[in-house]
Structure 1
Amino acid sequence: MIDLILGGNKSGKSDFGLELLCRGPRPWTLVATGKSRDLAFRRQIITHRLSRDAEIAVREVDTDLAGALGALAPLGGSVLVDSLDFWMFSLAGQSREDARRKREEFFACLQFHEGGNLILVSTEMGLGPLAFDGEIRAFARDLGQLNREIASVSTSVYLVVAGLAQKLK
């Protein structure tokens, strides 16, 4: 089962993802894609870490999300990936060919996901104003396309706004 959770920044999508994770079969694993690049984000990561259930294993990844999911697949249980937008940020540092290959590997991994729960969190950037910068507009288009492609293969899709989750699919 694949669940996709979309929402804006600080909408509550990560909290809802953790809620879904803890409703699923054990073992529980959080695949964290965000890297702290400033003090404020480092504090946010520490706060999240301290508030999480101790039974949730954490695996940090950079660009090899498919490899991490492939390694977790034999364990079964429930996996929460938080978040796809940070994974896309890390791919931006790769060559166009490497980024394309990493996306293809990720989608192949999704198509063969069996047993357990896979919960994917991503930002829905298309709800805000059009970005002035061309690079940011390109990122928003790429992330929007990724979200659409994942939504098409997901069992359930949720939109979280102001801490309230609405099931879309």
Structure 2
Amino acid sequence: MSAEPTAPRRVALVGGGVRSGKSAFALSLGRSLGARRAFIATAEAFDDEMRARIAAHIRERGDEFATVEEPVALPERIASLSGVDVVVVDCLTLWLSNLLLRDQTEGQILERIEALAAAVESARPHVVLVSNEVGMGVVPESPLGRAFRDMAGRAHQRLNRSAGELYVAMMGAILRLRPGPVAVMDEGAR
């Protein structure tokens, strides 16, 4: 008796601006990819407002996703996941800022980005990565702001090569860029 064929593992990168709909889309996509779901949260609660945001997001996800908080060791956490069909990571830009605020050098962060790409490419579950597009605005005033913007751009370029699916959220609409043809994703397609 032959084993039932398994669906190909999917890696999706979902980007966009703040409150563009990218996280909601990523969760919807994650729900469609399997019943055993993990959500890796990279945010850290440094103040009451952020603690309230994190609590609200956990309530919104409910029991549909097992929440794993991992602000720094993201590649290792993805590599260690077992017993899940899909993992949603939200978000890469917070992870990068966590690394920058821990005084990681550009070279060290680039190594971490490569480690993340390797973890995503070899992960057993489907992987949905969420990130903020920060390179379409003004040039940041501070060296730290410019370093963050540059690292985010480099991370997006590298992880784009690891992803078979690429989505961008703009003005509440989700555009599928890969696989082609480019298309607006409607609510039924999510």
TM-score by length of 2: 0.81
What do the CA deviations read for 1:73-116 (whole angstroms, capped 9, x no partner)?
x32401000000111011111432653443332122123234x3
What do the CA deviations read for 1:10-37 (whole angstroms, capped 9, x no partner)?
2121111111111111211000000112
- The answer to whether the 8 A contact 1:5-1:121 is kept is yes
Task: Please give the secondary structure, in 2, of the residue aligned with 1:107.
Answer: helix
Paired position in structure 2 for 1:134: 143
Aligned counterpart for 2:46 among listed residues 27, 37, 44: 37
**Structure 2: distance between partners of 1:123 and 1:95:** 20
Report whether the alignment pairs 1:104 with 2:114: yes
**Structure 2: distance between partners of 1:78 and 1:48:** 18
- The answer to whether the 8 A contact 1:18-1:80 is kept is yes
What do the CA deviations read for 1:92-151 (whole angstroms, capped 9, x no partner)?
11432653443332122123234x310000010012122122221121011011001111
Report whether the alignment pairs 1:62 with 2:79: no
Paired position in structure 2 for 1:13: 22
- The higher radius of gyration belongs to 2
Task: Please give the secondary structure, in 1, of the residue aligned with 2:93.
Answer: helix
- The answer to whether the 8 A contact 1:63-1:102 is kept is no
* Segment drifting more, 16-25 vs 39-48: 39-48
**Structure 2: distance between partners of 1:137 and 1:94:** 15
Structure 2 unaligned spans of 5+: 1-9, 179-190
- The answer to whether the 8 A contact 1:6-1:124 is kept is yes
Paired position in structure 2 for 1:83: 91
**Structure 2: distance between partners of 1:131 and 1:40:** 24
Paired position in structure 2 for 1:120: 129
**What is the aligned residue count?**
167
One-letter amino acid of the structure 2 residue matched with residue 113 of structure 1: A
User: Does 1 or 2 have the higher relative contact order (CA < 8 Å, sep 6+)?
Assistant: 1
